Amino acid sequence: MSPKSSLNEFQNASIEKPCPICGKEDWCSIDSRYRIAQCRRSRSKPVESCWMFESEKQDINGERFYQFRRDSNALSSGCKPEPKAIAPPPQPVASAKILDAVYTTLLKELQLGEQGLKQMRKRGLSKRECERLGYGHFSKSGCRLAIGRVIRSRLVKHLAFVPGFAKSEKGRWVLYHSIGIAVPVRNLDGEIVAVKIRLDVPRSRCKYAYLSSKKRGGTGPGAPVHVPLHTADADHSSVRITEGELKADIA
């Protein structure tokens, strides 16, 4: 997680706005005014020459990063102006039936793990309830089997329209996900139409992130309303609204 600037919040590097120091599209961060860059890879030879090394620091997790400041005369010295994000054309999203089939196949192979179960128990959900609700955990390497199962299934032809999936530069299907607990987002029919991730390490004060491949040329989930799975068993004499999918499942 990146520290905060005294004036502006930091944003993660992306395809539209890569790190001006190392040129990469992830891990590093730039403040919203494009005046301070925090590179986690290099402290020398910025890809944009008008950035000057300022100091070496550590984040709250003890990980080292290098802070650079943009030359105040940057524009007059030929430095690139702040890049403007170009929104990719909107991609269609698969039907609820297809989304449910893909996400159900994916989540069946993901183990919540002891640490995840411990967190859920603290919130009031048992292991059996977590399994029924379809919770899982995305890790750096632990979900390869789950992703492979989806890719090898008949559902592969739909992945271009499923948020989270996109093809890499080498033409392989990749699931772009954050690390954390997977919480299914369901519609009135109980179908999983999106997956929200409770981040193990919150970033920029953000605790949750959707499965999305919008920045990778794929599609995003939008912001669907979550209907808890057990709603179908209710008498529908009253409606309760709360913030967040996890809170709704617990309530």
Judge whether 246 and 129 are in contact, CB under 8 Å: no
Is 131 a residue whose pLDDT tops 50?
A: yes
pLDDT tens figures, 153-207: 999 999 999 999 998 888 889 999 989 999 999 999 999 999 999 999 887 678 8
CA angle 95, 97, 103 (to 5 degrees): 100
CB atoms within 10 A of CB 172: 8
Rounded Cα–Cα distance for residues 51 and 86 (Å): 23
Closest CA to 177 of 193, 190, 191, 162: 162
DSSP 96: H
Tokens of 205: 């004060």
pLDDT band per the 50, 70, 90 thresholds, residue 77: low
- Could you give phi then psi for residue 129, rounded to 5 degrees? -65, -40
The answer, as to whether pTM is greater than 0.75, is: no
Helix, strand, or coil here: 192? strand
Is 6 a residue whose pLDDT tops 50?
A: no
